Amino acid sequence: MVMYRRNYVPGGTFFFTVTLADRRSAVLVDRVDLLRAAYRSVVAEREIETVAICVMPDHLHAIWTMPAGDADYSLAWALIKARFSRSLALSDRHLAANNHGELPVWQRRFWEHTIRDERDLENHVNYIHYNPVKHGHAARPADWPHSSFHRFVRDGLLTIDWASSVDLGIPE
């Protein structure tokens, strides 16, 4: 069995990719209301700062800064996954637990990367905001509604045409 080594740094900043078990599903955007409720409750309870986030149909990317003295992002993701899965099961009677009593919504694990410095942070924020374009869900980041890109624009950190074809100098 593969042993996963996580870098638990209290107060650290981390990039995550969390994926559905069924990569053909679009349930994360179809039921984004349930995901938001689960996500917001856990992040608030655990005092986690969401630096950036983008919810795609079958996966999500997020950058978190953990509170000082707390490094247990694994528990936070487990809680988010469990709350979303339970809410989804209540709204979708076709979703049934497997032989282990688990709702087969999420892949069991997630991918994590410790942010090393400001340049690493900027690169990962850009990756998150460009992800809907990369996957063909939007022509430009501003067109995807499930992203912190809009907060970055509102806060003056990015322009609305960031990474658009005009911004990149690519003829349309």
Residue at 150: amino acid letter: H
DSSP assignment string, 32-47: HHHHHHHHHHHHHHHT
Q: What's the full length of the chain, in residues?
A: 172
CA 106 from chain centre, in angstroms, equals 13
Helices (H), 59-117: 73-91
Q: Could you give all domains of the chain from N- to C-terminal order, each with its CATH number?
A: 13-117 (3.30.70.1290)
For 105-132, b where at least 16 C-beta lie within 10 A, e where not — what string?
bbbeebebeebeeeeebeebbebbbbbb
pLDDT of residue 93: 60
R_g of the chain computed on alpha carbons: 17
pLDDT means per 10 residues, the chain with 172 residues, are 75 96 91 96 98 97 96 96 90 64 80 96 97 95 97 96 65 44
pTM: 0.88
How crowded is residue 68: how many other Cβ atoms within 10 Å of its Cβ? 9
CA dihedral 49, 36, 110, 146 (to 10 degrees): -90
